[in-house]
């Protein structure tokens, strides 16, 4: 029986590879089942691995529609087109026209999509307004003209930093009113 030593990178692929390729001996010549977790494979506790596993589990729960309502969803605003939904941080939605109030939900329905995929599908009613980090923190106000421009689009306006939604401090919005 042959054993191969490997690096941590190979351990990350352990869920896809039989254990005999990752250094575990398998008797009987058959293939072993993958470990339940990366910690089980490495034999030690790694905080980064634990965090990764929690995040991966939360993402899988979102995809299955089983997101915990007291955690992530309570800190988020849900946008939905009826078939698909996504979450943005509370404070990221700057404007909601009265005709689109039904698109901002308190409960998820349908299939979860990550922000980028959701935005691509719903560009017709979602508008991204780019903000600077100073505006998100409330150190710099968003101008009245900018907010009026968002209002005139007639779409739900979401603040983004780069390509991702970001919460905007109330101070940045109050200073412009």
Residue 156, strand partner residues: 126
Higher per-residue pLDDT: 55 or 141: 141
Counting residues of the chain whose pLDDT is more than 90, the rounded percentage is 49
**pLDDT of residue 12 exceeding 50:** no
pLDDT in tens, 17-42: 343 444 444 445 555 455 555 445 55
Average pLDDT (73-95) is: 92
Cα separation, 100 vs 81, whole angstroms:
10
Q: Which residues contact 132 (CB under 8 A, 6 or more apart)?
A: 140, 161
> Do 151 and 95 form a contact (C-beta atoms < 8 A)?
yes
pLDDT of 3 > 80? The answer is no
pTM surpassing 0.75?
A: no
Dihedral Cα 160, 164, 170, 174, nearest 10 deg: 0
With a pLDDT cut of 70, the percent of the chain lying above it is: 63
Helical (H) or strand (E) element with 90 = none
Among 54-58, 151-155, 171-175, the least confident range: 54-58
Residue 64: pLDDT over 90: no
102-124 residue pLDDT tens = 999 888 888 999 999 999 999 99
């Amino acid at each position: 029986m042959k054993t191969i030593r490997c690096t941590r990178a190979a351990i990350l692929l352990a869920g896809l590879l039989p254990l005999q390729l990752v250094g575990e001996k398998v008797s009987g010549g058959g293939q072993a089942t993958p470990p339940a977790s990366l910690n089980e494979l490495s034999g030690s506790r790694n905080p980064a691995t634990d965090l990764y596993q929690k995040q991966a589990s939360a993402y899988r729960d979102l995809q299955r529609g089983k997101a915990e309502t007291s955690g992530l969803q309570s800190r988020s605003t849900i946008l939905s087109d009826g078939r698909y939904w996504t979450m943005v941080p509370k404070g990221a939605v700057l404007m909601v026209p009265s005709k689109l109030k039904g698109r901002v939900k308190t409960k998820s329905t349908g299939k979860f999509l990550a922000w980028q995929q959701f935005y691509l599908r719903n560009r017709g009613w979602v508008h991204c307004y780019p903000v600077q980090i100073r505006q998100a923190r409330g150190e710099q106000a968003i101008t009245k003209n900018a907010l009026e421009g968002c209002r005139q689009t007639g779409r739900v306006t979401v603040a983004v930093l780069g390509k991702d939604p970001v919460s905007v401090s109330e101070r940045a919005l109050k200073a412009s009113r």
